Chains A and B, each alone.
Chain A
Amino acid sequence: MTDTSMRTGLQQGVSAQSPTAAPTRRRRPLDERGKWWRFVVVLIVTIIAIVPIVSVLYLSLQPGLGSSATGLTLENFGLVFSQTQISYWLENSLLVTLVTVVISVAVAAPAGYVLSRVRSRLVSSYSLVLFVVQSLPVVTAVIPLFILFSGLGLVDNLGGVIIVYVGSTLSVATWMLAAYYDSIPISLEEAAWMDGLSVFGSFLRVVLRNSLPGILSTAIFSFLLSWNDYLVAVVFLRSDVNYTLPVGLETFFQQNATNWGLVMAVAVIMMLPPVILFAALNKYFSVGGIGGALAGR
């Protein structure tokens, strides 16, 4: 297989994310035909798909044990805010997630550039290693990581959790970004080099500037991973003021009883930030970009 054939493939797989792509402008009246038929089908599928989510909302509005309220009530939300440290958990979760996103993009962006632009045995075996470590289940890694981190004072510390999350998003983030870079013609950089820019300069001004959709996709992928994790956080975080939301959620699961109203209220609070984020960034987020990088190596 030649370099050229690979790159052509890459080009094609990711062209949707290419900043120059604007398929919507090309739409023809073909789209108009059957739009109500499609609407009905999508509506039915959507309704079925969100039944479990609507039931979470419904359960969060149910009065709890021993409550005087009847019908639907917001008292679970009141209780969650008045009786738990949820404002800290929310803040910790946002903090952990945002820092994870920033660091994993910051680490993966240059690494992805190397994967995209350098063709050598060393780089492709590095790519394979990324892939293999990604395949090992997290549950086997928690204890050795804890032992390692406790020596470094990173236990019950949000920084420790962030490092683990960055590590687990690293492979996919690197691939995703490499795929985006593949869609940027190298001639742009070459032109920049002729203008006297260094490799770093051209990476910063030419490549990164044109990779916003790729960076956003990577960011949202990392966001979801660190936002939803509890397997790692529940072992690493001890003090209730250091909990993230998923660990805080676990505090409602007691020995013999669980207060489902409160669990569901926390769940609804947990759902909001990602939903808002998705709604805002929906059009930029496409995981398809991972493809190119994987295929090219």
Chain B
Amino acid sequence: MAAPNPRPALSRRGFLGFAGAAGIATAGVLTGCNRAASTGGSSGGEKPLKFWNMPWGNTQFTTLDKKITTSYKPASGLNPASYQTIQWANFTQTFASAVASNTGPAVSSGGGTQAFQFEAQGKIAYADDLLNSWKSNGLYDDFLPGLIDTMKVDKGYAAIPYNLDMRVLWYNTKLLDQAGVEPPKTWDDFDKVCAALKQKGIYGYGTMAGAGAYTGSHTLVSWMINNGGGLFNAGHEPEMVTDVNIEAINFVLDCVKKGYVDPHSVSYTSDNAQSQWKAHKFGMGFDTAGLANNIGGTVGPELTIGSPLTSPSGKKGALYFPNNIMMYTNTPNQKSSEAFLTYYYKNMAPLWTSNTGIGLPPLKSITEKTGFRKDKNAVKAIEEWQPISKTWAAPGSNSLFLGVTTVDGTPAMDTFTQSILGGKVTAKQALSTLQDTVAKAIKAQG
């Protein structure tokens, strides 16, 4: 019963009173109050500030991350931190309802474009002061190149880059050997490898666009960025019907027509896609940098990240998502939020060196640690793909903005992708429809 932490115990007790009033306080109910505390770090007399993090990796991630948070010993007068995992299921509702009722966190991660949403509603505490203070302690310069700028909006920095989710080219070395082809370096190579794999009944363009699977859309935007295109111009307006985009989408439509794409892909979830990799049905395709680890078994070690392709325009590029941590105006003390984040960024390295399944690290110092360098694929993603990767805002700018929420996992984007992978539209048609829908949605944002 000696629960050190007041919050859940309190609500639990409150509940027991409620249950008692309903006249059903049985012995079984009473045993319920002997619960382990779920938050900690209640040293000092200050009210803890709430840190909400997502389950970015496996269960080890959550355990380790919670330990890092609760080990935080604030300087006197500053608030300690409490830890809360937020499930991915319905997380938009969870955050929106909490922020709207002022019961939200002081510091959190969340969806990749969430900070820009809340920033537009005046709920975000800008990170400018914090980043300035990091210029003197070396943290600022430790970020990978170009990363901090992706968080810049008109009024300041909306968030701080946290873990990177990238879309990279994977291939199965064994299957490529069997087909007698070299890993591709250009779009033409890609086509040839696909053709060779097809001879063996293997799909060269492995992808997915089913319920909750956005990799299909990400890959299409990646092709556009690879060819020097993208979705938004420098004025943050949607400008999608461009020659380079049409060329990229036509290339994908070609792959669909030639049978390089599994016709089931439009309905694949990430699990379906993974089982296709495991079944040696996917020989090549775009996925997250953690694919080999997620697949594991005998097939995982066969998978390798390839180098970025050179497009017909001669350019290279790919789409990536700098997931981030944001601070909210609803904090017991802004200085405490900043002090906690300084501690967290200085001590978060183990999250990337102990197989927790999180995406790629934002700090150079972490990418140099031996624990991280064990994973050759992750190293390749950081060294070859991160420097050429761009955000949703490409090609106009590199900084994210509110408008990108209209393409990040939205119905319009899903429909666009499923229609392309269905192969029954023209590139120009599909891009025009997408552009119109997005323009309308941005206008609705005011």
Interface residues of A (CB under 8 A from B): 65-66, 83, 85, 88, 91-92, 94-95, 98-99, 102-103, 142-143, 146-147, 150-151, 153, 155-159, 162, 230-231, 234-235, 238-242, 247, 250-251, 253-258, 260
Contact = CB atoms under 8 A, between A and B. Distances in A.
B55 A99 contact: no
A143 B87 contact: no
B294 A143 contact: no
Top-7 shortest CB links A-B? A146-B97, A150-B101, A159-B18, A239-B38, A239-B8, A250-B89, A157-B11
Contacts of A260: 271
Given A239-B38, A239-B84, A242-B8, A255 B101 contact: no
A143 B15 contact: no
Contacts of A94: 28
A31 B15 CA distance: 52
Interface stretch (B56-64, B178-186, B226-234): B56-64
Given A65-B297, A146-B98, 20 more contacts: A65-B296, A66-B296, A95-B19, A142-B93, A147-B97, A155-B101, A156-B7, A159-B18, A234-B87, A239-B39, A240-B38, A241-B12, A242-B11, A251-B85, A253-B88, A255-B54, A255-B55, A255-B56, A255-B57, A255-B358
Nearest to B55: A254
B295 to A, nearest CB: 9
B267 to A, nearest CB: 17
Given A98-B24, A235-B97, A256-B357, A230 B89 contact: yes
B134 to A, nearest CB: 26
Given A150-B101, A158-B15, A235 B38 contact: no
Interface string B93-132: 1101110111100000000000000000000000000000
A250 B19 CA distance: 26
Contact of A159 (B19, B56, B100, B271): B19
A162 B100 CA distance: 22
B242 interface: no
A146 B94 CA distance: 9
B279 interface: no
Contacts of B15: 157-159
Given A241-B36, A251-B55, A255-B55, A151 B101 contact: yes
Nearest to B86: A238
Interface in B225-261: none
B35 interface: yes
A257 B19 contact: no
Interface string B30-44: 001001101100000
A156 B15 CA distance: 10
Contacts of A142: 93, 97
B93 A143 contact: yes
B143 to A, nearest CB: 22
B87 A256 contact: no
A159 B103 contact: no
B38 A257 contact: no
A229 to B, nearest CB: 12
Chain A contact surface mostly: helix
Contacts of B18: 159, 162
B403 interface: no
B270 interface: yes
Contacts of B199: none
Nearest to B5: A239
A95 B36 CA distance: 18
A156 B8 contact: yes
B27 interface: no
Contacts of A250: 87-89
Residue of A241, A242, A256 with most partner-chain B CB within 10 A: A256
11 contacts: A66-B296, A147-B100, A150-B97, A150-B101, A157-B15, A234-B94, A235-B97, A254-B56, A255-B54, A255-B57, A255-B358
B29 interface: yes
Chain B contact surface mostly: loop
B206 to A, nearest CB: 15
B87 to A, nearest CB: 5
Given A99-B22, A147-B101, A91 B28 contact: yes
A260 B28 CA distance: 31
Contacts of B22: 99, 102-103
Residue of B29, B54, B59 with most partner-chain A CB within 10 A: B59
Given A157-B11, A254-B57, A95 B97 contact: no
A256 B97 contact: no
A151 B97 CA distance: 12
Given A239-B84, A241-B8, A241-B38, A155 B89 contact: no
Given A156-B8, A257-B357, A83 B59 contact: yes
B39 to A, nearest CB: 8
A258 B271 contact: yes
A231 to B, nearest CB: 7
Interface in B250-297: 270-271, 288, 290, 294, 296-297
B76 interface: no
Contacts of A153: 11, 14
B90 interface: yes
A102 B101 contact: no
B88 A254 contact: yes
A253 B93 contact: no
Interface in B402-425: none
B321 to A, nearest CB: 11
Contacts of B36: 85, 241
Contacts of B84: 238-239
A255 B293 CA distance: 13
A142 B93 CA distance: 8
A157 B14 contact: yes
A153 B39 CA distance: 18
Nearest to A147: B101
A150 B97 CA distance: 9
Nearest to B293: A257
Contacts of A247: 87, 89
A91 B34 CA distance: 12
Contact of B101 (A91, A95, A146): A146
B404 to A, nearest CB: 20
B97 A99 contact: no
B94 A254 contact: no
Contacts of B359: 255
A231 B102 CA distance: 21
Contacts of B12: 241-242
Contacts of A83: 59
A151 B98 CA distance: 11
B90 A159 contact: no
Given A146-B101, A234-B89, A256-B270, A102 B55 contact: no
